[in-house]
Amino acid sequence: MTLQHPQTDKINLKGLTLFELEKLVTQWDEPEYRAKQLMSWMYHRQAETFEAMTNLPRNLRQKLTDIAYVSGTHVLTRTPSNADTAVKYLFELTDGSRVESVLMYDQDRITVCVSSQVGCAMACDFCATAKMGFFRNLTAAEILDQLITIERELDTEKSVTHVVFMGMGEPLANYDQTVKAIRLMTDANGLGIPEAKITVSTSGLARRMRQFTSERLRCNLALSLNGTTDETRTRLMPINAKYPIDEVLDATREWALATQRPATLEYVLIRGVNDSVTDARRLRKLMGRLPCKLNLIPFNEIEGANFRRPELNQIERFRRIVADGHHVAPIRFSKGRDIAAACGQLRTIYEKQGVMMPQVS
Ligand code: SF4
Identify the CATH number of the domain in which residue 46 sits: 1.10.150.530
**Residues 209 and 265 both lie in one domain:** yes
**Lowest-pLDDT range of 161-165, 280-284, 293-297:** 293-297
Region 232-257 average pLDDT: 98
For ligand 1, is residue 226 a contact (CB within 6 Å)?
A: no
Distance CA 16, CA 18 (A): 7
Is 247 in contact with 278 (CB distance < 8 Å)? no
Q: Which of 69, 88, 115 is the last residue of a domain?
A: 69
Distances (CA, A) of 244 to 97, 134, 269, 279, 322: 33, 22, 19, 17, 21
For residues 228, 241, 218, 267, the Cα torsion angle rounded to the nearest 10 degrees is -30
What is the number of the ligand 1 atom nearest to the C-alpha of 201? 2
Position 243 in a domain: yes
Has residue 39 got a pLDDT over 70? yes
**Residues 59 and 91 both lie in one domain:** no
Determine the structural domain holding residue 62 and report its residue range: 11-69
Alpha carbon nearest to ligand 1 atom 6, residue = 127
Q: Which of 34, 49, 69 is the last residue of a domain?
A: 69
In the structure, what pLDDT confidence band is assigned to residue 175 with cuts at 50, 70 and 90? very high
Picking from 53, 4, 43, the residue whose alpha carbon sits closest to that of residue 145 is 43
Region 99-126 average pLDDT: 93
**Residues 64 and 103 both lie in one domain:** no
Position 6 in a domain: no
Region 147-151 average pLDDT: 95
Alpha carbon nearest to ligand 1 atom 7, residue = 169
**Residues 97 and 121 both lie in one domain:** yes
Active site residues: 100, 343
Mean pLDDT rounded to a whole number for the chain: 88
In the structure, what pLDDT confidence band is assigned to residue 353 with cuts at 50, 70 and 90? very low
Pocket probe mutation, ligand 1, options 116, 120, 134, 307, max atoms within 8 Å of Cβ: 120
Position 358 in a domain: no
- Spacing, Cα 313 to ligand 1 middle (Å): 27
**Residues 64 and 82 both lie in one domain:** no
What does the pLDDT read at residue 344? 46
Has residue 188 got a pLDDT over 90? yes
- Spacing, Cα 26 to ligand 1 middle (Å): 41
- For the domain that residue 163 is a member of, what is the CATH number? 3.20.20.70
What does the pLDDT read at residue 3? 52
**Residues 194 and 336 both lie in one domain:** yes
Distance CA 105, CA 111 (A): 6
* pTM (global) more than 0.95: no
**Residues 195 and 114 both lie in one domain:** yes
**Residues 104 and 138 both lie in one domain:** yes
Distance CA 331, CA 298 (A): 8
DSSP 134-201: EEEEPPHHHHHHHHHHHHHTS-TT----EEEE-SSS-GGGGHHHHHHHHHHHHSTTTT---GGGEEEE
Pocket probe mutation, ligand 1, options 116, 117, 122, 199, max atoms within 8 Å of Cβ: 122
Position 24 in a domain: yes
For ligand 1, is residue 205 a contact (CB within 6 Å)?
A: no
In the structure, what pLDDT confidence band is assigned to residue 345 with cuts at 50, 70 and 90? very low
In the structure, what pLDDT confidence band is assigned to residue 332 with cuts at 50, 70 and 90? low
- Spacing, Cα 74 to ligand 1 middle (Å): 24
**Residues 24 and 108 both lie in one domain:** no
Region 190-203 average pLDDT: 96
Has residue 347 got a pLDDT over 60? no
Position 314 in a domain: yes
What is the number of the ligand 1 atom nearest to the C-alpha of 127? 6
The total of structural domains in the chain comes to 2
Position 54 in a domain: yes
**Residues 163 and 52 both lie in one domain:** no
